Amino acid sequence: MLKVVVLISGTGSNLRALLDGLDEARASDAPIAAEIVAIGADTERANLALGDERGIPTFVVAPGAYPDRAAWGDALLAKVREFGPDLTILSGFMRLVPPRVVDALAPELLNTHPAYLPEFPGAHAVRDALEAGANETGATIMIVDNGVDTGPIIDQRRIAITPDDTEATLHERIKVVERQLLLDTVRHLAAGTLNLKEIAS
């Protein structure tokens, strides 16, 4: 069983879709041998009710409680490690993870990004694509490295931008694709048909 810790900062709708997808797969004839063993956040405002509803342990490691970023990262890493994950997913975790955390967890540390990397890295990818006047953007799943959205790409897909798109409508369409990419990635990792060490090397 692939043990997965997911880190979020906000509504966690992609995490909810992952939980639902794993439940649906479990009830089907094509179960995915993966389990979300904990949900963590950097803020009390994150939707940790997703874990409470399903009996999944949750935790918050907020940067404000630590003297500096490195100390916060060490506390976050210690908390993640309590759950012994085979995989950690940043799913709308809106902070750069300190290098010691990346070095300890990668390549089994993934991020979802609402653009077709290397286009539009950073925290405002959807807005940036609209402001650039692009007619398409995308969604990407990648291994986290020490850059800003520069890690090895696992999977990505193009999404058209329509003239009447707002940041909200476009982001919602991107998330639909992100959810599929994320579930597929977890399915492949659980089945052993995707090797993160090979992709990262």
Rounded Cα distance, 82 and 56, in Å: 14
Spatial CA neighbour of 144 closest among 113, 177, 185: 113
124 catalytic? Reply is no
For ligand GAR, the closer of residues 43 and 104 by Cβ is: 43
Which range, of 4-12, 32-40, 60-68, 75-83, touches ligand GAR by CB under 6 A? 4-12
The helix/strand/coil state of 191 is: helix
> CA 172 to CA 22: how far, in whole Å?
21
Q: CB of 14: closest distance to ligand GAR in angstroms?
A: 3
Interface positions, 81-140, toward ligand GAR (CB under 6 A): 91-92, 94, 112-114, 123, 125
What residues contact 78, with CB distance under 8 A and at least 6 apart?
none
Nearest residue (CB) to ligand GAR, 27 versus 168 = 168
Residues that bind ligand GAR (CB under 6 A): 8, 10-15, 91-92, 94, 112-114, 123, 125, 175, 178
